[in-house]
């Protein structure tokens, strides 16, 4: 039987974000092998019918010897499994997975760029040095990939403009898609409730959400604000416990730790808020909110701007501007009918553009699976 290897940076993303894709690939007559950095959640990957292979990788690490070792281990697995198709996503699986596939002689090598992240945004000296190295590695990795998939046109154009990839091998899909049987509309809460979900880093806008919440609470103390995410001090611009807890203790926001059972939080919310400055591919959390029939407040950044029709299913706000975010939140409190009205528009947009089967069919067609 043919073999498909999915190169993942994190086990949780493999079963949460690529689970439906794994099942779809299997229907095409492939055995699927998933690589991941540790044993966390392996049983969930194996429950999809996939084989799991542990290959350690530090997705934020800068040790070139560790990265070379990662590449060589990927090559060995590809040769042992006699892989027919490979797909890596996020920076290191894209770069080193593509190089490993080329070295192993894999005939069908695909890579998916799920966002530019800090690559084009940060301006510090360290960031500029990392950017130069990343550009060189991307140029090598994407040079040997045969199909390069982006999640928005802006990222594709920027990569082509910087000569990191040839345009003729590039394709665009509308994000990772969302399972609309898992994320479904629910009745709106009686108290207008705003919800933020994402990695707790400053670039994602978590602290902008919290500061906006404080402004709104000053005028409408009965309003509710939920923030869900993982506090991880290893991230470059992490929001720390010391940053967040004063607002929690003051009763401004309610904090919930990272969990796989997130559908319940969309159901408890009225409006989803992601005031991000981060270069997203297409934020999965916004797609989940669309499927849950929630109005959206986000920024006009690549990946986000495609998910909102301003004034129709939500609003755009300025980056790192809690005052603007608070103003849009107050709109929903003062015009509660717009919560359901815009939520219906979100659901319709999701059905037509982001439903998981539509995305997966497009992905398989691009990869020739």
161-192 per-position pLDDT tens digit: 999 999 999 999 999 999 999 999 999 999 99
The residue among 308, 303, 297 whose CA lies nearest residue 275 is 297
Q: Is 17 in the same domain as 153? A: yes
What is the pLDDT at residue 260? 86
Among the ranges given (21-30, 195-204, 345-354), the one the predictor scored with the smallest mean pLDDT: 195-204
Q: What is the CATH number of the domain that holds 120?
A: 3.40.50.2000
Q: How far apart are CA 194 and CA 347, in angstroms?
A: 18
Residue 98 lies in a domain: yes
Q: Is 209 in the same domain as 143? A: no
Q: Is 6 in the same domain as 147? A: yes
Residue 182 lies in a domain: no
Q: How far apart are CA 13 and CA 159, in angstroms?
A: 24
Q: Is 155 in the same domain as 217? A: no
Residue 183 lies in a domain: no
Report the share of the chain in percent with pLDDT over 70.
97
Instruction: Check: CB of residue 211 under 8 Å from CB of residue 285.
Output: no
Structure confidence by residue, pLDDT tens digits, 18-70: 999 999 999 999 999 999 999 999 999 999 999 999 999 988 788 899 999 99
What is the pLDDT at residue 137? 95
Q: Is 283 in the same domain as 228? A: yes
- Where residue 3 falls among pLDDT bands split at 50, 70, 90? very high
- Where residue 118 falls among pLDDT bands split at 50, 70, 90? low
What is the pLDDT at residue 122? 59
Q: Is 123 in the same domain as 161? A: yes
Q: Is the pLDDT of residue 120 over 70?
A: no
What is the pLDDT at residue 119? 61
Q: Is 157 in the same domain as 62? A: yes
Q: Is the pLDDT of residue 249 over 80?
A: yes
- Where residue 235 falls among pLDDT bands split at 50, 70, 90? confident
Domain count, the chain: 2
- Could you give the 3-state DSSP secondary structure of residue 150? strand
Q: What angle do CA 227, 229, 235 make, to 5 degrees?
A: 130
Q: Is the pLDDT of residue 213 over 80?
A: yes
> Domain limits at 229?
193-353
Side by side, the strands of the sheet bearing 108-113 are 51-54, 30-36, 2-7, 85-89, 108-113, 147-150, 170-172
pTM over 0.85: yes
Q: Is 138 in the same domain as 262? A: no
Query: Hey, CA dihedral for 97, 102, 105, 108, is it positive or negative?
Result: positive
Q: Is 216 in the same domain as 152? A: no
The residue among 177, 182, 185, 183 whose CA lies nearest residue 24 is 177
What is the pLDDT at residue 255? 96
Q: Give helix then strand counts, H and E, for the chain.
A: 14, 13
Q: Is 359 in the same domain as 336? A: no
What is the pLDDT at residue 124? 65
Q: Is 207 in the same domain as 306? A: yes
Residue 83 lies in a domain: yes
Residue 186 lies in a domain: no
Side by side, the strands of the sheet bearing 193-197 are 254-256, 224-228, 193-197, 271-274, 295-299, 314-317
Q: Is 15 in the same domain as 153? A: yes
């Amino acid at each position: 039987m043919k073999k498909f290897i999915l190169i993942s940076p994190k086990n949780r993303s493999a079963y949460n974000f690529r689970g439906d894709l794994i099942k779809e690939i299997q229907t095409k007559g492939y055995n699927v092998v998933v690589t991941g950095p540790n044993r966390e959640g392996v049983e969930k990957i194996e429950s999809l019918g996939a084989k799991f292979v542990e290959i350690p990788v530090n997705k934020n690490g800068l040790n070139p010897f560790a990265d070379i070792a990662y590449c060589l281990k990927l090559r060995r697995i590809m040769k042992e499994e006699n892989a027919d198709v490979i797909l890596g996503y996020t920076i290191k699986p894209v770069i080193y997975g593509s190089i490993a596939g080329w070295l192993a002689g894999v005939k069908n090598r695909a890579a998916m760029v799920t966002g530019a992240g800090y690559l084009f945004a940060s301006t510090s000296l360290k960031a500029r040095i990392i950017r130069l190295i990343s550009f060189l590695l991307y140029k090598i990795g994407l040079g040997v990939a045969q199909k390069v998939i982006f999640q928005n046109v802006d990222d594709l154009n920027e990569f082509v403009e910087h000569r990191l990839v040839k345009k003729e091998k590039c394709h665009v899909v509308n994000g990772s898609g969302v399972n609309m049987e898992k994320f479904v509309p629910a009745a709106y809460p009686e108290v207008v409730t705003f919800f933020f979900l994402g990695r707790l880093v400053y670039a994602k806008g978590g602290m902008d959400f919290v500061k906006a919440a404080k402004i709104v609470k000053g005028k409408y103390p009965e309003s509710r604000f939920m923030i869900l995410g993982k506090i991880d001090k290893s991230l470059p611009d992490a929001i720390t416990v010391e940053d967040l807890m004063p607002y929690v203790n003051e009763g401004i926001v309610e904090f919930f730790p990272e969990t796989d059972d997130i559908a319940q939080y969309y159901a408890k919310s009225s409006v989803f808020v992601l005031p991000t400055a981060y270069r997203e591919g297409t934020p999965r959390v916004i797609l989940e909110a669309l499927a849950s029939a929630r109005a959206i407040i986000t920024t006009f950044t690549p990946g986000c701007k495609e998910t909102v029709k301003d004034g129709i299913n939500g609003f755009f706000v300025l980056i790192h501007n809690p005052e603007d975010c608070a103003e849009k939140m107050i709109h929903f409190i003062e015009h509660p009918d717009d919560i359901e009205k815009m939520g219906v528009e979100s659901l319709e947009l999701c059905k037509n553009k982001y439903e998981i089967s539509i995305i997966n069919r497009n992905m398989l067609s691009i990869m020739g699976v």
